[in-house]
Structure 1
Amino acid sequence: MDVKAIKEQFPILQQEVNGHPLVYLDSSATSQKPIQVIEAVSDYYKYNNSNVHRGVHTLGSRATDQYEGAREKVREFINATSTKEIIFTRGTTAALNLVASSYAKENVGPEDEIVITPMEHHSNLIPWQQVAKATGARLVYLPLQEDGTISLEDVKNTVNEKTKIVAVAHVSNVLGTINPIKEITEIAHQHNAIMVVDGAQGAPHMKVDVQAINCDFYAFSGHKMCAPTGIGVLYGKQELLENMEPIEFGGEMIDFVNLYDSTWKELPWKFEGGTPIIAGAIGLAAAIDFLHEIGQDEILAYETELAAYALEQMQTIDGIQIYGPKKRAGLVTFNLDDVHPHDTATVLDAEGIAVRAGHHCAQPLMKWLDVTATARASFYLYNTKEDIDLLVAGLLKTKEYFGNGFE
Structure 2
Amino acid sequence: MGNHFRTPGDEQPVPNAPAPGASVPAQPLANPNSNMDLLDDAVPTPGPGMQPPAAQIPDPLAPVSRADVFMAPGDPGFDPATFRTRDGSAAPSTDADEHRQVADLDAALASPDFTTVFAPVGADCGPSMRDTARQAGVEPVILMEHLTKVYPAQPNKAALDDINLEIYPGEFVFLVGHSGSGKTTLLNTILRNVKPTSGRVMVAGQDLMRIKNRRIPFLRRQIGAVFQDYKLLPNKTAFENVAFALQCIGKPRGVIRAQVPEVLRLVGLGEQMNSLPDQLSGGEQQRVSVARAMVNRPPLLICDEPTGNLDPAISLGIMKLLERINRTGTTVIVATHDREMVDSMHRRVIALEGGRIIRDQERGGYGNYGSY
Q: TM-score, normalised by structure 2?
A: 0.29
* Higher CA-based Rg: 1
Q: TM-score, normalised by structure 1?
A: 0.28
